[in-house]
Structure 1
């Protein structure tokens, strides 16, 4: 019976889809390696920061006498001046270079450890735990010839094992669950509808064997997917010139009560694979149970997909759901097995803390649950309930109406729409809570980001400087005389007094906010930024390895503040200009992009806020496409209605176009509904808002290195209503492209879920191929224009590194692409028997 089920699935060409998806996930692993520095985050590193900014008031040497303080400050300063990592970007991925960097990294540790022992410096308990681990890890790397994998150096030793473990949630979790859910959603309900399940019941086979064989066949396909993905990942990495770098011997810390506790990479990978297989058994049982309960074959896929989306959103925001009762959370295998360092971003303040491992045993519990789901499915096999269908009493007057009602006639359509609206409410609540917190910060004169900055960078640093200068009094007098010392000391004291007065001046920021005095509020912000640039002499371009910060944020923010001040627009900006420009590379992009400086959730601004905080444009594209695409599969699945249509005096090309445009019409209606619903949420909580609030639009592409504080001619402002209108038009055009692709593919597929999955693979393949194209060709690829957010404000120029990338070119490229597809579709519709 099991072999029969596997052969049945194999003949349906699902195995080909499995191979294509595993190649796609492997290619994504390569992509994520190229665009991300995949590091092994074993600890909040003290190396380099233990003595960083060392001075006489440093906490680390507070118990030393003055003489030892002078000696250690001098010794460390001399070392740092002479020490240098052997950076050489031309040798990236060279194993000898990786080993040289590791030895330099280890040398730095040894010197820090030497200072600790020489001056008998005592670390606090937390520091000692971190230091002991870092020393152990450094020694391990030297002894096993494994390269350093910290964030700044991880790209010199990228390897497939590290990527598989880093991306375990996608490689061994989400992609497999989505694949199995979409492909096997109707594994029981399909047979109930076609009555083939009754044929199986007439055979000398028990209900238990029927369910068991289907369950095992799903598991086999899931396991096959895992090993194909591992093999293809290794092959693709090898073809792209990546070395092994002893990746199988790298260590991953277990964040248990025991300080030195770790897992070797290959053992951790084996545990992840075993955990993934167990979760496959659980979700296979869940798919069969839902397919047994619901006669509608789409509901299992819809329920699990929405569960995955909602769980991901809520779990990322609320620690309460990071527990063993959430099966979707358990797909973060490495975090479950080893624990992890969690990064929490709250009002631009980044905090990190350790989360202990749950351990492998929890997966054994879910293995037991999977057997219970199978037994429950056997019990419910003969029962049909929770099946709804929508009966339309409206008279269908045309083939267009007929195609239209095929899509909306099932209650799953309304069920999905309800789920989408629920997700939008959750997203809105998240940004609403952030806005309330931002508002409370601005109402407190001591907690605003700029006030915090001035206290730390101005008064505290200057106080340290004065203390250090006082402790050097005798040496300074010997060299320069008592009068020179008193003059310099008085100068520093005067400077400190001026800075304290300046801080008091900026306390008025909260008063301006309470009075809604935008004119003076933004003038004060401009003064603050100018103080930072001029008085503090902060260098606007700070270059570190793998991280760049450019003055584009200052340019754009200063211009924005001037505009807001002139128009006396209500204060609604929390933080100062960090990571606000599209020109900046974000080392912690996910954390920073999850926060929008402008706390405004009104009807006019809420779309912009959600697009900046979440990839809402991609979500709308995905969910609307999922709800409407079907094409010819609607007719093939429902009693071969296509045969009846073909007997009518209708031109097959017209049928093709009717299917295309009826689907497109519903997509437009759904998009309008979602955007209006978001606006409604903003309206009832904050009103309409300012329709003319300015948004930065990038008009010209500049070379990053040429941007200075005087560069003003590369951007302009557009009102928020224009931005929102652009977003809507772009979404409609992108949906038209996706629907055209799916309508074409539907001629070659029989099942709607297979069509949806095949369309997804096609789009993902296009995006990955697009990644490999040179920049001058990317602008002519329709897959370059799949993010409405970056197109609406002109940032697509920066993303594609081309001045020619713009909305007009996007329109031309997508319209040519869709026209070619639809012409081919109309031609083939006359020749292919459906």
Structure 2
């Protein structure tokens, strides 16, 4: 029976969908990693990391038994050793990340030993919590040396990034609710069809027991989840390597388990990953069994999918919004697999500095319980499995035209409703995550995150000023004092910004943001977020802030907003900071927000291709109906015209559904939004070395409503091109997935090849204009060999290419036998 179910799965091409999902999730998760928010699990208490033993005693110098002279000597030695450590750590600034990471690691180990020697020298009393941290650090050091891995705390944090760490930090999204939801939808698509059309009754008269039949359906879902897991890991590791991250023996990296007794328990990276995958399979089993139970009830298949999606969505909202739902008894919360296995540190903002709370490991027993609960749902499913009632009344409408005939083939194809519902479910989960992020940012602190950063810098400067004064006297600390005054002023201005944010006073709010941006520029681009903002980003952000302030547009962020320039897209750290810090989910801004957060343009085109395109394969897959059609008094050319036209129309309908869903959700959750909100559009490519003399000519600002319309129109022309391309390819192949695979594969291949060539001739290729996100804002011209942006030329090229492919297909179907 299992072989029979597997054959049905393979015939439906679901494994290909799963593999494509794995690629999408791996790529989108990699893009969403934020290096500022890695959870560091190296120490029991972060303030007692191996780089900061002496800081505790220097900051609490009055609590020690040292006299005044000894206190001064301790401070002098502390700062001297810190400078020596940093000098040694960064003395070889060139070379591979791998070499630099190991240099930093060895320097940190040596620095920790020297600090402990100084502590012993002054006979300082080590607190119990610090002693435990030292013991753990020493234990961890032995493991690191044994497997020759990097150190991922302190100055090593960024350089120690490796494919395994990136993968594990992304497991909550890669092995989260989105893939599980799609697996359930795919699994129930076949079962729902069998029960709705009554074909499942044939299995009733077979010698196979009902429980074995149901179990085989569950097992096929688990195999799909396993297939997804394998390819998700594979794609994630490959993508990380493609972007230049060193391996660093990351598979042996140590991940500490936070326990209440403080015992030294840990998993190596590969052990943790295997456990995460196993638990993902357990949770897939649980959710699929619930889906099977719901599908065993009478009712329309579409309504069952809505029920499952609604349950998941409601639980997700409740889990994100209320602490009482964050329990192991909530299956949605249990999908935070990594955190539940290891435990984690949460950061709670006080009036200034961050505090830490520990959430201890919850173990893995609850996942075994979920696994066994799955069999209870399977048992309950048996009672209703054969209670089949076809509630869909057969209705036959006369097809009045060939165009309607081709359109009906697509709309009544088994995958149409399933894919539309799966798409809307995925978008809903994405929407929820965006809203929760906005809520968290709005309630994060009594003043802005920017103000918190300024206060942190202020405290650090004051501390350094005291050290410098103790070591060398007050005279040489004047520069530090002037910086302290600047930070005090900026800190007070940032506090004002929060009040303007609450009032909706965009004029004064963005004026303060502009002041802070200019301060960063004067400080050699050393931004508050700790990265080089870039000369292009500075000029573009400045123009945006001026416009927002002049037009008094309502503030949509409480962060230090940085609009990352497209000219920084080749810099790895800028790639990770691609998202704008605009926390609006209004109807007008939501398409832009999605595009800046996820590769949503690729997702939309992929979905439309799956739903609408197939052309001749609809006639070939279910027996060769082509010969029958050709007996009718209609020319082959007319058949081809109607296949392309019907594909285009259904594709346009799918696009309209997606955009309407996005607009409606944005309208409900965030209102219409300000139609004047600016979006930057590049109008020509420039040399960054001459940017200061071209700041007013290489980009312009357009209102958000115009950007949305342009984005929609671009999708329309892309759909037309792909409809012609897939219809042309389908002449030569029998299966829909092969036609789509060849068409989209060739599109991706030629698009990639063109990205490696800088030549003006690219302006005449349709593959130059296949990324809607880059075409809408003009960034496709950057480093491409194209000097100016003209979206109308791009649309004309897509249209002409569509016409050429259309006529080529019309000519071929008359000359060859389509089989």
User: The TM-score by the shorter chain falls in which range?
Assistant: 0.7 to 0.9
Q: Quote the Cα distance in structure 2 between the aligned partners of 1:224 and 1:572.
A: 41
Report if the CA contact (8 A) 2:588-2:705 is conserved.
Answer: yes
1:338 to 2:342 alignment: yes
Q: Quote the Cα distance in structure 2 between the aligned partners of 1:230 and 1:562.
A: 45
Structure 2 counterpart of 1:75, from 74, 77, 92: 77
Return closer, same or farther for 1:103/1:434 CA change in 2, 3 Å cut-off.
closer
1:58 to 2:59 alignment: yes
Corresponding residue SS for 1:104 = helix
Return closer, same or farther for 1:128/1:647 CA change in 2, 3 Å cut-off.
farther
Corresponding residue SS for 1:205 = coil
Return closer, same or farther for 1:351/1:700 CA change in 2, 3 Å cut-off.
farther
Identify the residue that residue 262 of structure 1 maps to in structure 2: 266
Identify the residue that residue 539 of structure 1 maps to in structure 2: 524
Q: 5 Å matches for 1:392-471?
A: 396-407=399-410, 447-448=447-448, 452=452, 455-457=455-457, 460=459, 464=463, 467=466
Structure 2 counterpart of 1:278, from 267, 278, 282: 282
Identify the residue that residue 608 of structure 1 maps to in structure 2: 592
Report if the CA contact (8 A) 2:647-2:723 is conserved.
Answer: yes
1:775 to 2:756 alignment: yes
1:788 to 2:781 alignment: no
Report if the CA contact (8 A) 1:92-1:155 is conserved.
Answer: no
Structure 1 counterpart of 2:365, from 358, 361, 364: 361
Identify the residue that residue 634 of structure 2 maps to in structure 1: 650
Gaps of 5+ in 2: none
Q: 5 Å matches for 1:133-148?
A: 133-148=136-151
Return closer, same or farther for 1:137/1:192 CA change in 2, 3 Å cut-off.
same
Return closer, same or farther for 1:86/1:553 CA change in 2, 3 Å cut-off.
same
Identify the residue that residue 252 of structure 1 maps to in structure 2: 255
State the Cα deviation string for residues 193-215 of structure 1 (Å, max 9, x = none): 78764444434333333334444
Q: Quote the Cα distance in structure 1 between the aligned partners of 2:351 and 2:649.
A: 41
Corresponding residue SS for 2:278 = helix
State the Cα deviation string for residues 87-134 of structure 1 (Å, max 9, x = none): 57654567xx86555433422333344444444556767666555433
Return closer, same or farther for 1:595/1:178 CA change in 2, 3 Å cut-off.
same
Q: Quote the Cα distance in structure 2 between the aligned partners of 1:347 and 1:800.
A: 48
Q: Quote the Cα distance in structure 1 between the aligned partners of 2:437 and 2:34.
A: 29
Report if the CA contact (8 A) 1:556-1:581 is conserved.
Answer: yes
Offset, 1:660? 3.1
Q: Quote the Cα distance in structure 1 between the aligned partners of 2:455 and 2:540.
A: 25
Q: Quote the Cα distance in structure 1 between the aligned partners of 2:134 and 2:688.
A: 38
Q: Quote the Cα distance in structure 2 between the aligned partners of 1:732 and 1:804.
A: 23
Report if the CA contact (8 A) 2:781-2:788 is conserved.
Answer: yes
Corresponding residue SS for 2:757 = helix
Q: Quote the Cα distance in structure 2 between the aligned partners of 1:237 and 1:514.
A: 40
Return closer, same or farther for 1:573/1:272 CA change in 2, 3 Å cut-off.
closer
State the Cα deviation string for residues 745-767 of structure 1 (Å, max 9, x = none): 7678888xx74x98489758965
Identify the residue that residue 375 of structure 1 maps to in structure 2: 379
Q: Which moved more, 1:407-416 or 1:245-254?
A: 407-416
Gaps of 5+ in 1: 478-483
Q: Quote the Cα distance in structure 2 between the aligned partners of 1:623 and 1:349.
A: 45
Offset, 1:680? 5.9
Q: 5 Å matches for 1:87-486?
A: 87=92, 90-91=95-96, 102-119=105-122, 131-149=134-152, 165=168, 168=171, 177=180, 181=184, 184-191=187-194, 197-220=200-223, 223=226, 246-259=249-262, 260-282=264-286, 285=289, 288-289=292-293, 292-293=296-297, 323-324=327-328, 327=331, 330=334, 333-341=337-345, 354-385=358-389, 387-388=391-392, 396-407=399-410, 447-448=447-448, 452=452, 455-457=455-457, 460=459, 464=463, 467=466, 476=473
Identify the residue that residue 695 of structure 1 maps to in structure 2: 679
Offset, 1:262? 0.4
Identify the residue that residue 480 of structure 1 maps to in structure 2: none
State the Cα deviation string for residues 770-805 of structure 1 (Å, max 9, x = none): 668763279788677565334322234459797578
Report if the CA contact (8 A) 2:675-2:705 is conserved.
Answer: yes
Report if the CA contact (8 A) 2:72-2:470 is conserved.
Answer: no
Corresponding residue SS for 1:596 = coil
Report if the CA contact (8 A) 2:25-2:173 is conserved.
Answer: no
Structure 1 counterpart of 2:539, from 540, 555, 572: 555
Q: Quote the Cα distance in structure 2 between the aligned partners of 1:102 and 1:502.
A: 35
Identify the residue that residue 721 of structure 1 maps to in structure 2: 705
Q: Quote the Cα distance in structure 2 between the aligned partners of 1:261 and 1:525.
A: 46
Q: Which moved more, 1:126-135 or 1:647-656?
A: 126-135
Q: 5 Å matches for 1:662-811?
A: 662-672=646-656, 674-675=658-659, 678-679=662-663, 690-701=674-685, 713-737=697-721, 739-740=723-724, 755=737, 759=740, 763=744, 775-776=756-757, 787-797=771-781, 807=791, 810-811=794-795
Q: Which moved more, 1:581-590 or 1:258-267?
A: 581-590
Identify the residue that residue 481 of structure 1 maps to in structure 2: none
Q: Quote the Cα distance in structure 2 between the aligned partners of 1:77 and 1:316.
A: 44
State the Cα deviation string for residues 41-83 of structure 1 (Å, max 9, x = none): 4337658895499799735886465434433443344332442
Q: Quote the Cα distance in structure 1 between the aligned partners of 2:164 and 2:493.
A: 55
Report if the CA contact (8 A) 2:729-2:742 is conserved.
Answer: no
Return closer, same or farther for 1:2/1:153 CA change in 2, 3 Å cut-off.
same
Corresponding residue SS for 1:695 = strand
Report if the CA contact (8 A) 1:596-1:609 is conserved.
Answer: no
Corresponding residue SS for 1:559 = helix
Report if the CA contact (8 A) 1:57-1:464 is conserved.
Answer: no
Offset, 1:140? 1.6
Offset, 1:540? 0.9
Q: Quote the Cα distance in structure 2 between the aligned partners of 1:748 and 1:297.
A: 34
Q: Quote the Cα distance in structure 2 between the aligned partners of 1:311 and 1:88.
A: 49
Offset, 1:374? 3.3
Corresponding residue SS for 1:716 = strand
Q: Quote the Cα distance in structure 2 between the aligned partners of 1:439 and 1:269.
A: 34
Q: Quote the Cα distance in structure 1 between the aligned partners of 2:660 and 2:768.
A: 27
Report if the CA contact (8 A) 2:185-2:422 is conserved.
Answer: no
Corresponding residue SS for 2:110 = helix
Corresponding residue SS for 2:681 = strand
Q: Quote the Cα distance in structure 2 between the aligned partners of 1:239 and 1:525.
A: 36
Q: 5 Å matches for 1:811-826?
A: 811=795, 814-815=798-799
Q: Quote the Cα distance in structure 2 between the aligned partners of 1:494 and 1:3.
A: 76
Report if the CA contact (8 A) 2:585-2:670 is conserved.
Answer: yes
Q: Quote the Cα distance in structure 2 between the aligned partners of 1:684 and 1:234.
A: 39
Q: Quote the Cα distance in structure 1 between the aligned partners of 2:542 and 2:519.
A: 12
Return closer, same or farther for 1:310/1:628 CA change in 2, 3 Å cut-off.
farther
Report if the CA contact (8 A) 1:5-1:213 is conserved.
Answer: yes
State the Cα deviation string for residues 209-248 of structure 1 (Å, max 9, x = none): 3334444455456556656887899999999999976555
Q: Quote the Cα distance in structure 2 between the aligned partners of 1:516 and 1:419.
A: 37
Return closer, same or farther for 1:208/1:450 CA change in 2, 3 Å cut-off.
closer
Q: 5 Å matches for 1:491-506?
A: none
| Count of aligned positions | 805
CA RMSD of aligned residues (A): 5.9
Offset, 1:724? 2.0
Return closer, same or farther for 1:543/1:602 CA change in 2, 3 Å cut-off.
closer
State the Cα deviation string for residues 629-653 of structure 1 (Å, max 9, x = none): 5645666788987776454323344
Return closer, same or farther for 1:177/1:764 CA change in 2, 3 Å cut-off.
farther
Q: 5 Å matches for 1:620-639?
A: 620-621=604-605, 628-629=612-613, 631=615
Return closer, same or farther for 1:232/1:618 CA change in 2, 3 Å cut-off.
closer
Corresponding residue SS for 1:382 = coil
